[in-house]
Amino acid sequence: MSVEITRLPNGLHVVTHHMPHLETVALGIWVKAGARDERAEENGIAHFLEHMAFKGTPRRSARAIAEEIESAGGEINAATGMETTTDYARVLRKDWALALDILADIFTSPALDPEELERERDVILQEIAAAHDQPDDLVFDLAQAASFGAHPLGRSILGTEQLIGAMSRNQILDWRNRHYWGSRIVVAAAGHIDHKAFAAEAERLLGNLAEGTSPQRETPSFQPTACTAEKPLDQAHLVLSFEAPGYRDPDIYVLQVLSNILGGGMSSRLFQEVREKRGLCYSVFSFGSAFEDAGQVGVYAATSPEHANELLDLTSDVMLSVAAQVTEAEVNRAKAQLKASLVMNLESASARADQIARQFLAFGEVPGIETLVAKIEAVTPEKVRDLALRLFSHRKPAFSAVGHIGGLAAYETIARPFA
C-alpha cells in the first residue's frame, strides 16, 4: 500500500496514496474543526465559513475561482461535518499544483467581502429553510438533539435562522483564527501523484500557518429524550437511536457489523421483517454514527401515520432480537459488505483521499487495508450479540419523529420494550 506521510515543521501532515493507473488526482485540505467546536452562540459558523471560502480571496474573485478550476476540467467543493471541515478538488494529474494553489488560497485567505457575506447569508438561510422542508433531513437533526441535548453534537450543522441572521464577519474570522492551526490539518491526495513534489508544494503554500494546539472538546453525554415536529405530510418519519461507541473504541468494528445485520441492506433483519414480510414502509435502514468520543446506532423508517405505532413495535422487537441471537451467516454477510466497501474505496481517487485524510485525523496514522480487514474478520456472532445486549437492553432510546404524528404512542410507551 503506497501511502506516504510527511510532517511539516508547523505540525501539518501531508498524506498521499499513489495510484499510478489513474489519470486524475483527488486532493484536499482537511481540518479537525467542525460544528462541535462551536460555542452555542456560534452555531452554524463553521458551515458559514465553508460557504465563504468560494466567495473570493485577495488573489481571486469568486468567479475567477470557478473559471480557473473549470478551465482545467476540474471540480472543486467543500463540506462541513461535526468534527471536520474540508475543501477538496479533483483534476487531471497534470493540474494538481493548480488545484492545490486554489485550495490553499481559499483556505488561508478568504476575503469575507461584506457584500458577498450578505448574499451568502441569504443562501444559507434558504438552505436552513429547505432542510426544515425535508422531513428525512429534519428528523435526523431532531435525533441529534434527542440524543445529545445542549452539547454541540446535539445542534444542527447549519445553525439556526436567528444565529445566522446575526452572524458577523468578525465572529467568522475569530472562529477561524481559533481553529485553523497547522497541527489540526491534513493535506491529502490520491491518484497519479508524486509525494515529494506534493509535500513540497504543500509546505510552500501552507507551511507558514501557526502550529497551534489540539482541539479542546467537551465530552458529550447521551441524554435520550423525544424531539418531534408536526408537519402536514403523508408519512411519519421516525428515528430510534441509542448510545454507541466512538470511532476510537475497539468495538467500532463490532458496531459496524451490528448495524449492517440490523438494517444495512436487503438481506438485513429490518428490511426483511418490516418491509418484505409486513409491507409497513418503503424505506427502512439502520445507521451507526461515530465521533471521536461518542456514537449513535439507530434505525430510520418512514411509514403512513396509521402504521407508525405498529412499525415502532416491530422495530423494537427486531433490534432486541439481535441481542438474543446472531447467526454466523449474518455476520459473514455483514463482514463481506464492509470489506468490499473498503476495497472499493481503492478504485476511487476521491473516496481514497477522503479515507486516508480522515483516518489520519482520527488515529494519527493510516491503517493498511489488511489491518482493517483483520479487525473486521475478528468480529464474531458472540461479540455482536453482546454489544447489542449492552446497547439495547435496559437502555432508553432517543426518539425523533416528523410528519402526521398526533396518533403516535407516548415516548414512555415507545421506550418501554428496551427497559
The count of residues in the chain is: 419
Q: Which residues contact 23 (CB under 8 A, 6 or more apart)?
A: 92, 93, 192
With CA atoms as reference, report the closest residue to 387 among 318, 297, 314, 305: 297
Cα 35 from Cα 114, distance rounded (Å):
23
Q: Do strands 295-303 and 283-290 pair parallel, antiparallel, or not at all (unpaired)?
A: antiparallel
For residue 94, the one-letter residue type is K
Give 54's contacts (C-beta < 8 A, 6+ positions apart).
Answer: 62, 65, 66, 76, 78, 106
Q: Under a CB-based contact definition with an 8 Å cutoff, are residues 403 and 237 in contact?
A: yes
Considering 4, 23, 42, 50, which one is annotated as catalytic?
50
Helix axes 96-108, 62-71, angle to 10 degrees: 160
4 is catalytic: no
**Residue 97: all three cell numbers together:** 499544483
Q: Which residues are catalytic?
A: 50
